[in-house]
Chain A
């Protein structure tokens, strides 16, 4: 077992013993149940209702998953450094890259487990009310949430490497979450529309934020007609078509996972423990 695997396994163990994983699954399941009950009261049919619940879930994921992933990532290195345990870890025959990757993948797998449990709990609670008809979409949304989490943990780990204290790292992570999840639509996309309302400008704005990329991917998977996305949809439809648009947005998500992680490794290797 190499150093990276040992550290990864410890991260997983910490996640299970820390119980946040179960708390996330429980809260997610209950929110999904609430959404489902609201839909049932709205009087839609079962099939429509499940899809509506699923669409509601993705919006829920776009809020909760980035926060969870950013905060966990931000604590990864800054927390160890603050406790003094980072020096103890690096005094062993492991490289700085192994330590960082071990912590990163440990956190990513933990968040994936939390998402799987959350979606699983939601399906168990919702299916007696609204029978499961769109399982494919449901699984795709779970996968999109996992992809978003992967990118967000990466950004969180970069924040962690750059911060000289856990509290500071957490504060920056929450600020980034506010920026990407709550203010981006108003800020970047609003600015893009003000500068030029062309589909190309909007696409650049969407690619600048992994949360927006996942939001558009989710819409693409639910709605084959891209016109629903307005100028952006028309641009995507004309330039790329649905399949290539999905590949572009998916590739963007991969880039958002890889680039901050690579930068974090580069910086971490040049830092004192």
Chain B
């Protein structure tokens, strides 16, 4: 569906993307991961044809530079920040998008409904909340049932329930045979939503392969802070033995556990089962920089 071959982008002497190549099969999901400035958005904008680049990108066999119109007909794009005309109402924006995509305007009404915005159809786009705006952008991206859905940081600014809704949408689209490419900071979500992951570090690809490796290679590590009532030493040995946590440290009343993102619940479960009361807890999600460093080190070790 999507073929990216040796794509690079430079601004003056600064290289923001360097030698990125991969393929995205129909019906599969690829997550592009990297910290700020890693080149995720540059890669996505190159794929959508919004910025000029070196190398070749084809969508359904159409080059995004030489055959931009045909290539874009196959894309549904949701950018990081709203690009919908703020002066239009929700309904007008939907009709405008339908006309630009060359689909029946009846679908515009259905898109507004599918975004759950029928009650806001006459409101200006500029008056929508961030969440509403993104729901509308997603619905409009899907107007022409594109075979490739490109989402730039779709989870940014979303609450937990909206993130779960997004996961569901990605699963539904995959089931329909749509290829999905998304960039994200939320590394712990990736093994659950994506088939493959591409990790970028300063514009260079440091990993491309199964997303499940992020879990097995412990790239998606979380840090748990647990305040326990005086039973910290017991908890320390319990957690170390039972959960495969990487590091377990004591800091006053607090136990600091670094573990794979999907083992957090097991840590809590182990303590509760052993009768260790948890008075308070706090979770720090895996910093993407750390994950990138881990994956880069893992790749280097393999060479």
Contacts and interface: CB of A to CB of B under 8 A. Distances in A.
B100 A90 contact: no
A91 B79 contact: yes
A30 to B, nearest CB: 28
A94 B83 contact: no
Contact of B99 (A1, A85, A270): A1
A6 B82 contact: no
A91 B75 contact: yes
A41 interface: no
Contacts of B49: 90-91
A92 B87 CA distance: 19
B100 A94 contact: yes
B230 to A, nearest CB: 54
B69 interface: yes
B51 interface: yes
A187 interface: no
Q: Which of A1, A7, A93, A272 has the most CB of B within 10 A?
A: A93
B156 interface: no
A93 B73 contact: yes
B86 A87 contact: no
Contacts of A83: 86
A75 to B, nearest CB: 13
Interface in B82-129: 82-87, 96-97, 99-102
B174 to A, nearest CB: 21
Interface string A1-43: 1010011001000100100000000000000000000000000
Interface in A78-93: 83-93
A133 interface: no
20 contacts: A3-B100, A6-B96, A84-B82, A84-B83, A87-B45, A87-B50, A87-B83, A89-B83, A90-B49, A91-B49, A91-B72, A91-B75, A91-B77, A92-B72, A93-B69, A93-B73, A94-B72, A270-B52, A272-B50, A273-B45
